[in-house]
A and B are shown apart, each in its own frame.
Chain A
Amino acid sequence: MIKFILGRLTYLIPTFIGITIVAFSFVRILPGDPVLLMAGERGMTPEHYQEMMARLGFDRPIWEQYLEYLWRLLHGNFGDSINTKQPVLSDFLALFPATLELAFCAIIIAVAIGVPVGVLAALKRGSWFDQTTMTVALIGYSMPIFWWGLLLIIFFSGTLGWTPVSGRISLMFYFPTPTGFMLIDSLLSGQKGAFASAAEHLILPSIVLATIPLAVIARQTRSAMLEVLGEDYVRTAKAKGLAPGRVVGVHALRNAMIPVITTIGLQIGVLMAGAILTETIFSWPGIGKWMVDSISRRDYPVVQSGLLLIAGIVMVVNLIVDLLYGLINPRIRHS
């Protein structure tokens, strides 16, 4: 097992270096520059411009900048934002809990609905339930979520007035946020109605973000179940006269869960991409929106370190999924 983990890790190191190169070089070849953007319509004199570039260290050779960047990364320094002058890491840590909370709720919705629906659909293959849910799942899978979000806002916030339009909690509530997770912090605050308000604010964004993972998980679960149900040992178990519930519960479900867990793990990347759109639509103060804004402001340090941090997180999650998979399924470990 240790050998397996080490093997995976040696794959990760070159990948991670590749990621730093990509993050760094993409950002450096972005056209336009932050100094000009700050000056706006006003413009600035060429001398002053040179001085600004030198001050930000953009006038030195690219490779020198890259090596310095790596060196600082090794010391845990992700650079400072050009616009806010704050350390990128502290901005990231301030915003990441919001994204994490949203992603977490979305994945819970997706799993809690997707897995049972998939199992049921597989068991009742061809029934109206199977057909309806799989059609709905395919629609969800095909959904342009930015449009879906707008529709939900128009309907639930606009027409019906049931849900708040944006934000994480009603502004009436004000309490410290030690964890950064509004649901937990609102409970800790002990203020009446705070938790309900936080939940209310979370519902539409997490539905929107959950849409595609839910569809994928439901479909995957169904086909994994179908495959397992068709395997010899299940048929044998059935033939031996085991109770159908036991066959499904013990044999089929457990084996079908292996590919499903992988699917869930793979949704992390999907969630991150979805967060960019969802956060933009709902003005959710998370890292997706932060990245989009920073790209348009050409805030180099934020874009490059943001890319790095996000890719790093995706990689670590994938590694964990990989290890889990290896743990469940020894065949993988030895191949």
Chain B
Amino acid sequence: MKLKTTLLAASAVMAVLAGGVNAKTLVYCSEGSPDGFDPAPYASGTTFDASARTIYSRLVEFAPGTTSIVPGLAESWTISDDGLVYTFKLRAGVKFQTTDYFTPTRDLNADDIIFSFDRQGNAENPFNQYVPGVSYEYFTSMGLDTMIASMEKVDDLTVKFTLSAPNAPFLSDLGMDFASIVSKEYADKLLAEGKGADFNNNPIGTGPFQFVAYQKDAVIRYKANDTYFGTRPAIDDLVFAISTDAAVRAQKLLANECQIMPYPAPADIEALKANPDLTMMEQAGLNVAYLAYNTLQAPFDNVNVRKALNMAINKQAIIDAVFQGTGVVAKNPIPPTMWSYNDAIVDDPYDPEMAKQMLADAGVTDLSMKIWAMPVQRPYMPNARRTAELMQADLAAIGVTAEIVSYEWGEYLKNSTALDRDGAVILGWTGDNGDPDNFMNVLLSCQSAGEGGSNRAHWCNEEFSALLTQAAQSTDQAERTSLYEQAQVIFKDQAPWLTIDHSTVFMPMSNKVTGYVMSPLGSHEFATVDIAE
């Protein structure tokens, strides 16, 4: 019986596919399998690309290619003078997708908005545990559980959020993937049928594409959402061909088995660029890789020692060998594409002689240290091990013996937060919402400097932290910019990190693909894409 339904469903889809003779299909060679299709419980960009960015939309959106906030499901909003109350006016007549597993009977309204957030923060919500053991990491870690004091439905199309304290990045948070708006009607229906888990497997949203089928670890199929409130996508069918290996993705692109792919291997970039059938888009990634000293450990508690080591390491050589030139040397803790980036700051020069001298002046001789290199590839660091080897060689040149250590990734993340950690740790960060607070506050403030915190340098500078707090509570953009610029000066002066690089993100695609816009946040969206026949 079940088989028969699948057959029927599939033949219906086939009819659709066959009916549109000129159906335009775009195949995207995605880098991995999504964990599920409900974005809220997950944390990986791969999952978000396959769910939040295709199937769903949010109250506010990031304008394509930028990190600035534009209206989404909310057509307008007002913020009270004390910065505590946000009132959103919803777009009227927004339809949830109609699929073979769900037909909506009403348009989007304030209940859906409140439900989308309440189910994540409120353990009493019947849908909080729709799959046993599910948790909402992003909601918690962005602090929305404590930030939102209350939500109120004013009328069907008006919803009011009250915050517990003024927080400038709040709007940006609402544009993030976990804040995708889901259908309360669909959730209620599933709950009544006792099929809650389907919420994650057969998703319903208001986004530009609707879900058709997923074959585990192989392929995801979508089709354009004809009832989308924005401009209907120019392509009719969107296919994610899951290919975890970068070399395989490149091969498939060359063979036109897909037309666009993310994350090419640095080694392949030259060849892909040179290919006349392909276009290569590139953009500075919203990320940073760093080597964090343990500023509580002697002699790294001495700022001069940290500066000396910074001067001993040839960062350009790392860019050349590890990134094959596809990155830029970092001098600030935030990437150059982010507002408030302080370009006036001068980086510590590469000067081994001077470095040697400074170490001697600081009374440090025969220094031996550990460099932690993570075992995995990250967007900001394709090969930490190779980077560490290069650093090791550079440090040897000024008489510092470095030993490279590594742990299993989970252990690495945990052990690196220990206050008595021995050695400097290579790590990095990818921005979530384009706000400088999301970099500096998370990675360098006093709040996060404790045991288990994400400030791996254990660096607590009162002056620096005060600037960040002030900036987060202000809603005046110019004032915030100036505060963050000052903070970066203190950062460079105190050198808790060796800032290594900001990687460049590449997106090779067939010449036939038009209208693709790279997101500085690293997500992949296809609503604006067209493909020539």
Do A and B assemble together?
yes
Indicate if the CB atoms of A42 and B442 lie closer than 8 Å.
yes
- Give CA–CA (A166, B201) in the complex, Å: 25
The answer to whether the Cβ of B131 comes within 8 Å of any Cβ in the partner chain is: yes
The answer to whether the Cβ of B316 comes within 8 Å of any Cβ in the partner chain is: no
Taking CB atoms, residues of chain B closer than 8 Å to A84 are 35-36
Residues of B214-254 contacting chain A, CB below 8 A: 215-219, 221, 239, 241-245, 248, 251-252, 254
Known interface pairs A174-B14, A174-B17, A290-B217. Does A80 touch B133 (Cβ–Cβ under 8 Å)?
Answer: yes
Q: What's the A-B contact tally at a CB cutoff of 8 Å?
A: 152
Taking CB atoms, residues of chain B closer than 8 Å to A164 are 252, 255, 257
Indicate if the CB atoms of B252 and A165 lie closer than 8 Å.
yes
Taking CB atoms, residues of chain B closer than 8 Å to A39 are 43, 137, 141, 413
Q: Whole-angstrom distance from the CB of B524 to the nearest CB of chain A? A: 17
Taking CB atoms, residues of chain B closer than 8 Å to A178 are 3, 6-7
Q: Whole-angstrom distance from the CB of A245 to the nearest CB of chain B? A: 48
Indicate if the CB atoms of A158 and B257 lie closer than 8 Å.
no
| Number of residues on chain A facing chain B (CB within 8 A) | 56
- Give CA–CA (A38, B134) in the complex, Å: 12
- Give CA–CA (A116, B478) in the complex, Å: 81
Indicate if the CB atoms of B248 and A166 lie closer than 8 Å.
yes
Residues of B26-41 contacting chain A, CB below 8 A: 27, 35-36, 41
- Give CA–CA (A195, B320) in the complex, Å: 46
Known interface pairs A40-B43, A166-B252. Does A85 touch B134 (Cβ–Cβ under 8 Å)?
Answer: yes
The answer to whether the Cβ of A26 comes within 8 Å of any Cβ in the partner chain is: no
- Give CA–CA (A44, B413) in the complex, Å: 11
The answer to whether the Cβ of A83 comes within 8 Å of any Cβ in the partner chain is: yes
A44-56: contact bitstring with B at CB < 8 Å (1 yes, 0 no)?
1110110010011
The answer to whether the Cβ of A161 comes within 8 Å of any Cβ in the partner chain is: yes
Indicate if the CB atoms of A48 and B217 lie closer than 8 Å.
no
Name the CB-closest residue of A to B131: A85
Indicate if the CB atoms of A285 and B242 lie closer than 8 Å.
yes
The answer to whether the Cβ of A41 comes within 8 Å of any Cβ in the partner chain is: yes
Taking CB atoms, residues of chain A closer than 8 Å to B213 are 174
Known interface pairs A42-B141, A55-B133, A85-B36. Does A177 touch B255 (Cβ–Cβ under 8 Å)?
Answer: no
Name the CB-closest residue of A to B376: A296
B57-97: contact bitstring with A at CB < 8 Å (1 yes, 0 no)?
00000000000000000000000000000000000000000
Name the CB-closest residue of A to B32: A293
Taking CB atoms, residues of chain B closer than 8 Å to A41 are 413, 427-430, 454
Indicate if the CB atoms of A157 and B255 lie closer than 8 Å.
yes
The answer to whether the Cβ of A31 comes within 8 Å of any Cβ in the partner chain is: yes
Taking CB atoms, residues of chain A closer than 8 Å to B219 are 167, 171
Looking at the complex, which of B293-301, B341-349, B403-411, B487-495 is the stretch in contact with chain A? B403-411
Residues of A26-73 contacting chain B, CB below 8 A: 31-34, 36-46, 48-49, 52, 55-56
Taking CB atoms, residues of chain B closer than 8 Å to A175 are 10, 14
- Give CA–CA (A46, B414) in the complex, Å: 11
Indicate if the CB atoms of B135 and A37 lie closer than 8 Å.
no
- Give CA–CA (A280, B140) in the complex, Å: 35
The answer to whether the Cβ of A289 comes within 8 Å of any Cβ in the partner chain is: yes
Contact of A43 among B25, B27, B413 (CB under 8 A): B413
Q: Whole-angstrom distance from the CB of A317 to the nearest CB of chain B? A: 24
Residues of B1-25 contacting chain A, CB below 8 A: 3, 6-7, 9-11, 13-14, 17, 25
Indicate if the CB atoms of B243 and A283 lie closer than 8 Å.
yes
Indicate if the CB atoms of A174 and B452 lie closer than 8 Å.
no
The answer to whether the Cβ of A222 comes within 8 Å of any Cβ in the partner chain is: no
Taking CB atoms, residues of chain A closer than 8 Å to B410 are 31-34, 36-37, 298
Known interface pairs A37-B409, A165-B248, A165-B257. Does A174 touch B35 (Cβ–Cβ under 8 Å)?
Answer: no
Indicate if the CB atoms of A283 and B242 lie closer than 8 Å.
yes
Please provide the 5 A-B residue pairs with the shortest distance between their CB atoms, ordered closest to farther.
A32-B410, A285-B217, A165-B251, A176-B10, A285-B218
Residue pairs across A and B with Cβ atoms less than 8 A apart, 22 shown, are A32-B409, A32-B410, A39-B137, A40-B413, A42-B141, A42-B442, A43-B453, A55-B135, A80-B133, A95-B217, A153-B251, A158-B254, A166-B243, A171-B27, A174-B10, A175-B14, A176-B7, A176-B9, A282-B248, A283-B245, A285-B215, A298-B410
- Chain B contact residues, CB within 8 Å of chain A: 3, 6-7, 9-11, 13-14, 17, 25, 27, 35-36, 41, 43, 131-135, 137, 140-141, 197, 200-201, 213, 215-219, 221, 239, 241-245, 248, 251-252, 254-255, 257-258, 376, 407-411, 413-414, 417, 427-430, 442, 451-454
